[in-house]
Structure 1
Amino acid sequence: MNLLRGAALVAATLTTGLIAGLFYSFTVAVMPGLRQAEDRSFVDTMQRINVAIINGWFMLCFVGALLLIALAAALHLRAAGRPALPWIAAALVLYLVMFVITAAVNVPLNNALDAAGKPGAITDLAAVRARFEATWVGWNVVRTLTSTAAFGCLTWALVLFGRSTP
Protein backbone atom coordinates (compact mmCIF):
# COMPACT_ATOMS: atom_id res chain seq x y z
CA MET A 1 0.00 0.00 0.00
CA ASN A 2 2.90 2.36 0.73
CA LEU A 3 4.17 1.82 -2.81
CA LEU A 4 0.80 2.84 -4.24
CA ARG A 5 0.58 5.88 -1.92
CA GLY A 6 4.06 6.95 -2.90
CA ALA A 7 3.49 6.42 -6.61
CA ALA A 8 0.26 8.43 -6.57
CA LEU A 9 1.94 11.23 -4.63
CA VAL A 10 4.93 11.34 -6.97
CA ALA A 11 2.69 11.34 -10.06
CA ALA A 12 0.49 14.08 -8.56
CA THR A 13 3.57 16.15 -7.75
CA LEU A 14 5.09 15.75 -11.21
CA THR A 15 1.93 16.58 -13.14
CA THR A 16 1.17 19.55 -10.87
CA GLY A 17 4.73 20.78 -11.32
CA LEU A 18 4.42 20.56 -15.08
CA ILE A 19 1.21 22.61 -15.06
CA ALA A 20 2.68 25.17 -12.65
CA GLY A 21 5.69 25.45 -14.95
CA LEU A 22 3.48 25.98 -17.98
CA PHE A 23 1.59 28.82 -16.30
CA TYR A 24 4.87 30.26 -14.99
CA SER A 25 6.27 30.27 -18.54
CA PHE A 26 3.29 32.27 -19.74
CA THR A 27 3.65 34.67 -16.80
CA VAL A 28 7.35 35.41 -17.19
CA ALA A 29 8.06 34.88 -20.90
CA VAL A 30 5.17 34.30 -23.31
CA MET A 31 2.85 37.13 -22.35
CA PRO A 32 5.62 39.70 -21.69
CA GLY A 33 7.00 38.81 -25.12
CA LEU A 34 3.61 39.12 -26.77
CA ARG A 35 3.01 42.46 -25.02
CA GLN A 36 5.50 43.90 -27.54
CA ALA A 37 3.65 42.48 -30.56
CA GLU A 38 1.25 44.36 -32.78
CA ASP A 39 -2.46 43.59 -32.30
CA ARG A 40 -2.73 41.29 -35.33
CA SER A 41 0.36 39.30 -34.29
CA PHE A 42 -0.85 39.10 -30.69
CA VAL A 43 -4.33 37.84 -31.62
CA ASP A 44 -3.01 35.44 -34.28
CA THR A 45 -0.37 33.99 -31.94
CA MET A 46 -2.78 33.51 -29.04
CA GLN A 47 -5.32 31.89 -31.36
CA ARG A 48 -2.64 29.44 -32.53
CA ILE A 49 -1.56 28.73 -28.94
CA ASN A 50 -5.19 28.10 -27.95
CA VAL A 51 -5.46 25.47 -30.68
CA ALA A 52 -2.06 23.89 -30.04
CA ILE A 53 -2.45 23.57 -26.28
CA ILE A 54 -5.53 21.38 -26.47
CA ASN A 55 -3.68 18.12 -26.95
CA GLY A 56 -3.38 14.82 -25.16
CA TRP A 57 -0.20 15.66 -23.26
CA PHE A 58 -1.60 18.89 -21.87
CA MET A 59 -4.94 17.35 -20.95
CA LEU A 60 -3.22 14.33 -19.37
CA CYS A 61 -1.32 16.63 -17.00
CA PHE A 62 -4.02 19.29 -16.51
CA VAL A 63 -6.86 16.90 -15.65
CA GLY A 64 -4.57 14.10 -14.53
CA ALA A 65 -3.00 16.25 -11.81
CA LEU A 66 -6.41 16.92 -10.29
CA LEU A 67 -7.31 13.23 -10.34
CA LEU A 68 -3.93 12.16 -9.02
CA ILE A 69 -4.02 14.66 -6.14
CA ALA A 70 -7.49 13.38 -5.21
CA LEU A 71 -6.23 9.78 -5.45
CA ALA A 72 -3.21 10.57 -3.28
CA ALA A 73 -5.49 12.18 -0.70
CA ALA A 74 -7.82 9.17 -0.68
CA LEU A 75 -4.90 6.76 -0.31
CA HIS A 76 -3.49 8.74 2.61
CA LEU A 77 -6.78 8.82 4.54
CA ARG A 78 -5.99 5.55 6.25
CA ALA A 79 -2.22 5.88 6.40
CA ALA A 80 -0.67 5.60 9.85
CA GLY A 81 -0.51 9.05 11.37
CA ARG A 82 -1.41 10.61 8.00
CA PRO A 83 1.38 13.22 8.17
CA ALA A 84 1.18 14.06 4.46
CA LEU A 85 -2.62 14.29 4.26
CA PRO A 86 -3.06 17.96 5.31
CA TRP A 87 -0.52 19.02 2.68
CA ILE A 88 -2.15 16.88 0.01
CA ALA A 89 -5.55 18.33 0.95
CA ALA A 90 -4.15 21.87 0.72
CA ALA A 91 -2.71 21.04 -2.70
CA LEU A 92 -6.08 19.71 -3.82
CA VAL A 93 -7.84 22.92 -2.76
CA LEU A 94 -5.21 25.11 -4.44
CA TYR A 95 -5.31 23.07 -7.63
CA LEU A 96 -9.11 23.18 -7.66
CA VAL A 97 -8.97 26.99 -7.36
CA MET A 98 -6.66 27.10 -10.38
CA PHE A 99 -8.90 24.66 -12.26
CA VAL A 100 -12.01 26.76 -11.59
CA ILE A 101 -10.25 29.98 -12.62
CA THR A 102 -9.17 28.32 -15.85
CA ALA A 103 -12.70 27.12 -16.62
CA ALA A 104 -14.50 30.29 -15.51
CA VAL A 105 -12.12 32.99 -16.74
CA ASN A 106 -9.27 31.96 -19.01
CA VAL A 107 -11.12 29.49 -21.25
CA PRO A 108 -14.04 31.89 -21.94
CA LEU A 109 -11.50 34.63 -22.76
CA ASN A 110 -9.68 32.21 -25.08
CA ASN A 111 -12.96 31.31 -26.78
CA ALA A 112 -13.86 34.98 -27.29
CA LEU A 113 -10.40 35.65 -28.71
CA ASP A 114 -10.68 32.65 -31.02
CA ALA A 115 -13.89 34.09 -32.48
CA ALA A 116 -12.05 37.22 -33.68
CA GLY A 117 -11.84 37.39 -37.44
CA LYS A 118 -14.71 34.99 -38.02
CA PRO A 119 -17.89 36.15 -39.81
CA GLY A 120 -20.00 38.35 -37.53
CA ALA A 121 -17.17 38.78 -35.04
CA ILE A 122 -15.46 41.95 -33.93
CA THR A 123 -12.76 42.77 -36.45
CA ASP A 124 -11.16 45.62 -34.48
CA LEU A 125 -8.16 43.66 -33.25
CA ALA A 126 -7.16 46.38 -30.81
CA ALA A 127 -10.58 46.08 -29.15
CA VAL A 128 -10.35 42.27 -29.17
CA ARG A 129 -6.94 42.45 -27.55
CA ALA A 130 -8.04 45.04 -25.00
CA ARG A 131 -10.92 42.78 -23.89
CA PHE A 132 -8.55 39.84 -23.54
CA GLU A 133 -5.01 40.69 -22.52
CA ALA A 134 -5.07 42.41 -19.13
CA THR A 135 -7.74 40.13 -17.66
CA TRP A 136 -6.18 36.96 -19.03
CA VAL A 137 -2.68 37.92 -17.85
CA GLY A 138 -3.91 38.92 -14.37
CA TRP A 139 -5.77 35.68 -13.83
CA ASN A 140 -2.88 33.68 -15.25
CA VAL A 141 -0.71 35.13 -12.48
CA VAL A 142 -3.25 33.80 -9.98
CA ARG A 143 -3.18 30.41 -11.73
CA THR A 144 0.61 30.46 -11.57
CA LEU A 145 0.60 31.22 -7.84
CA THR A 146 -2.06 28.66 -6.92
CA SER A 147 -0.60 25.84 -9.01
CA THR A 148 2.91 26.61 -7.74
CA ALA A 149 1.65 26.61 -4.16
CA ALA A 150 -0.07 23.26 -4.83
CA PHE A 151 3.23 21.93 -6.18
CA GLY A 152 5.00 23.16 -3.05
CA CYS A 153 2.45 21.47 -0.81
CA LEU A 154 2.85 18.20 -2.68
CA THR A 155 6.63 18.46 -2.50
CA TRP A 156 6.41 18.87 1.27
CA ALA A 157 3.92 16.00 1.43
CA LEU A 158 6.52 13.84 -0.33
CA VAL A 159 9.09 14.78 2.31
CA LEU A 160 6.68 13.90 5.11
CA PHE A 161 5.68 10.68 3.39
CA GLY A 162 9.32 9.71 3.03
CA ARG A 163 9.98 10.40 6.70
CA SER A 164 7.01 8.33 7.83
CA THR A 165 7.63 5.35 5.55
CA PRO A 166 9.58 2.51 7.16
Structure 2
Amino acid sequence: MDWVAGVAAVGSGLVGGVFFAFSVAVMPAFARLPARHGVAGMQTINTTIVRAPFLIVFVGTVLACVARVVLAPTDVLGVAGAALYVLGGFGVTMALNVPLNNRLAAVGTGDDDGFWSVYATRWTLWNHVRTVACTGAAALLTAAA
Protein backbone atom coordinates (compact mmCIF):
# COMPACT_ATOMS: atom_id res chain seq x y z
CA MET A 1 0.00 0.00 0.00
CA ASP A 2 1.18 3.49 -0.84
CA TRP A 3 1.10 5.25 2.53
CA VAL A 4 1.02 8.78 1.05
CA ALA A 5 -2.07 7.94 -1.00
CA GLY A 6 -3.52 6.28 2.10
CA VAL A 7 -3.00 9.41 4.21
CA ALA A 8 -4.51 11.58 1.46
CA ALA A 9 -7.47 9.18 1.16
CA VAL A 10 -8.17 9.17 4.90
CA GLY A 11 -7.85 12.95 5.09
CA SER A 12 -10.17 13.42 2.12
CA GLY A 13 -12.69 11.10 3.72
CA LEU A 14 -12.55 12.86 7.07
CA VAL A 15 -13.00 16.31 5.53
CA GLY A 16 -15.72 15.01 3.23
CA GLY A 17 -17.49 13.62 6.29
CA VAL A 18 -17.46 17.01 7.96
CA PHE A 19 -18.89 18.60 4.83
CA PHE A 20 -21.48 15.80 4.51
CA ALA A 21 -22.68 16.44 8.08
CA PHE A 22 -23.24 20.09 7.21
CA SER A 23 -25.14 19.21 4.04
CA VAL A 24 -27.49 16.67 5.62
CA ALA A 25 -27.90 17.93 9.19
CA VAL A 26 -26.42 21.28 10.19
CA MET A 27 -27.66 23.53 7.38
CA PRO A 28 -31.12 21.92 7.16
CA ALA A 29 -31.44 22.38 10.95
CA PHE A 30 -30.38 26.01 10.73
CA ALA A 31 -32.90 26.54 7.92
CA ARG A 32 -35.68 25.68 10.38
CA LEU A 33 -34.59 28.41 12.78
CA PRO A 34 -35.29 32.13 12.69
CA ALA A 35 -32.59 33.89 10.66
CA ARG A 36 -30.95 35.48 13.70
CA HIS A 37 -30.40 32.04 15.25
CA GLY A 38 -29.05 30.58 12.02
CA VAL A 39 -26.65 33.52 11.70
CA ALA A 40 -25.50 33.21 15.31
CA GLY A 41 -25.05 29.45 15.04
CA MET A 42 -23.06 29.60 11.83
CA GLN A 43 -20.93 32.48 13.08
CA THR A 44 -20.06 30.40 16.13
CA ILE A 45 -19.23 27.34 14.02
CA ASN A 46 -17.10 29.42 11.66
CA THR A 47 -14.92 30.66 14.50
CA THR A 48 -14.82 27.32 16.31
CA ILE A 49 -13.75 25.21 13.33
CA VAL A 50 -10.63 27.30 12.68
CA ARG A 51 -8.56 25.33 15.19
CA ALA A 52 -5.79 22.78 15.01
CA PRO A 53 -7.88 19.56 14.92
CA PHE A 54 -9.66 20.55 11.71
CA LEU A 55 -6.89 22.63 10.14
CA ILE A 56 -4.27 19.89 10.50
CA VAL A 57 -6.46 17.45 8.58
CA PHE A 58 -7.79 20.04 6.09
CA VAL A 59 -4.41 21.51 5.12
CA GLY A 60 -2.42 18.35 5.81
CA THR A 61 -4.52 16.55 3.22
CA VAL A 62 -3.57 19.17 0.63
CA LEU A 63 0.09 18.48 1.44
CA ALA A 64 -0.44 14.72 1.19
CA CYS A 65 -2.19 15.16 -2.17
CA VAL A 66 0.64 17.31 -3.52
CA ALA A 67 3.19 14.78 -2.26
CA ARG A 68 1.25 11.97 -3.93
CA VAL A 69 1.31 13.74 -7.29
CA VAL A 70 5.02 14.54 -6.96
CA LEU A 71 5.89 10.96 -6.00
CA ALA A 72 3.65 9.26 -8.59
CA PRO A 73 2.86 11.77 -11.36
CA THR A 74 1.78 9.08 -13.83
CA ASP A 75 -0.75 7.40 -11.55
CA VAL A 76 -4.03 8.56 -13.05
CA LEU A 77 -6.17 7.57 -10.05
CA GLY A 78 -3.85 9.28 -7.58
CA VAL A 79 -3.56 12.44 -9.64
CA ALA A 80 -7.32 12.60 -10.22
CA GLY A 81 -8.05 12.02 -6.53
CA ALA A 82 -5.52 14.63 -5.47
CA ALA A 83 -6.93 17.14 -7.95
CA LEU A 84 -10.47 16.52 -6.72
CA TYR A 85 -9.48 17.22 -3.13
CA VAL A 86 -7.20 20.19 -3.81
CA LEU A 87 -9.54 21.89 -6.29
CA GLY A 88 -12.98 20.68 -5.19
CA GLY A 89 -12.44 20.44 -1.44
CA PHE A 90 -9.79 22.97 -0.53
CA GLY A 91 -10.13 25.28 -3.55
CA VAL A 92 -13.90 25.67 -3.37
CA THR A 93 -13.62 26.30 0.37
CA MET A 94 -11.08 29.07 -0.02
CA ALA A 95 -12.60 30.67 -3.12
CA LEU A 96 -16.30 30.43 -2.30
CA ASN A 97 -17.24 29.27 1.21
CA VAL A 98 -14.69 31.34 3.17
CA PRO A 99 -15.67 34.65 1.48
CA LEU A 100 -19.30 33.88 2.32
CA ASN A 101 -18.26 33.14 5.91
CA ASN A 102 -16.35 36.42 6.08
CA ARG A 103 -19.41 38.34 4.86
CA LEU A 104 -21.59 36.52 7.39
CA ALA A 105 -19.15 37.47 10.18
CA ALA A 106 -20.02 41.12 9.56
CA VAL A 107 -23.77 40.52 9.86
CA GLY A 108 -25.45 41.39 13.12
CA THR A 109 -27.63 38.61 14.48
CA GLY A 110 -30.53 41.00 15.00
CA ASP A 111 -30.55 42.46 11.48
CA ASP A 112 -29.15 40.27 8.74
CA ASP A 113 -30.55 42.42 5.86
CA GLY A 114 -31.81 39.23 4.25
CA PHE A 115 -28.27 37.94 3.77
CA TRP A 116 -28.90 34.75 5.75
CA SER A 117 -31.14 33.22 3.08
CA VAL A 118 -28.65 34.12 0.33
CA TYR A 119 -25.77 32.84 2.44
CA ALA A 120 -27.46 29.57 3.40
CA THR A 121 -28.43 28.79 -0.21
CA ARG A 122 -25.04 29.61 -1.77
CA TRP A 123 -22.93 28.18 1.06
CA THR A 124 -24.89 24.92 1.06
CA LEU A 125 -24.68 24.57 -2.73
CA TRP A 126 -20.89 24.92 -2.62
CA ASN A 127 -20.76 22.64 0.40
CA HIS A 128 -22.49 19.92 -1.64
CA VAL A 129 -19.77 20.36 -4.29
CA ARG A 130 -17.07 20.04 -1.61
CA THR A 131 -18.73 16.94 -0.19
CA VAL A 132 -18.87 15.18 -3.56
CA ALA A 133 -15.32 16.24 -4.44
CA CYS A 134 -13.85 15.01 -1.15
CA THR A 135 -15.78 11.74 -1.29
CA GLY A 136 -14.64 11.15 -4.85
CA ALA A 137 -11.08 12.03 -3.88
CA ALA A 138 -11.19 9.55 -1.01
CA ALA A 139 -12.41 6.79 -3.33
CA LEU A 140 -9.81 7.48 -6.02
CA LEU A 141 -6.95 7.85 -3.56
CA THR A 142 -7.98 4.63 -1.83
CA ALA A 143 -7.87 2.84 -5.18
CA ALA A 144 -4.46 4.42 -5.85
CA ALA A 145 -3.14 3.27 -2.49
Q: TM-score, normalized by length of structure 1?
A: 0.81
Q: Distance in 2 between matches of 1:92 and 1:113?
A: 30
Identity %: 35
User: Is residue 118 of structure 2 the alignment partner of residue 152 of structure 1?
Assistant: no
C-alpha displacement of 1:125: 2.2
Supply the RMSD in Å over aligned alpha carbons: 1.7
Letter in 1 for 2:96: V
Structure number with the bigger relative contact order (C-alpha 8 A, sep ≥ 6) is: 2
- SS state at 2:108 partner: coil
- SS state at 1:148 partner: helix
User: Is residue 86 of structure 2 the alignment partner of residue 96 of structure 1?
Assistant: yes
Gaps of 5+ in 2: none
The aligned residue for residue 128 of structure 2 is 141
CA contact (8 A) 2:85 2:137 kept: yes
Question: Equivalent of 2:62, from 63, 66, 69?
Answer: 66
Q: Deviations 1:137-163 (Å, cap 9, x if unpaired)?
A: 1111111111111111011112xxxxx
Superposition pairs of residues 12-161 of structure 1, within 5 angstroms: 12-77=8-73, 85-98=75-88, 99-117=90-108, 124-125=111-112, 127-158=114-145
- SS state at 1:124 partner: coil
C-alpha displacement of 1:126: 5.5
Q: Distance in 2 between matches of 1:28 and 1:17?
A: 16
Gaps of 5+ in 1: 159-166
Q: Distance in 2 between matches of 1:27 and 1:101?
A: 15
Alignment: residue pair count: 144
CA contact (8 A) 1:24 1:144 kept: yes
- SS state at 2:80 partner: helix
Letter in 1 for 2:93: T
C-alpha displacement of 1:103: 1.0
Q: Distance in 1 between matches of 2:28 and 2:126?
A: 14
CA contact (8 A) 2:62 2:85 kept: yes
Q: TM-score, normalized by length of structure 2?
A: 0.92
CA contact (8 A) 1:11 1:68 kept: yes
Q: Which runs of 4+ in 1 moved over 6 A?
A: none
Rg: which structure is higher?
Answer: 1
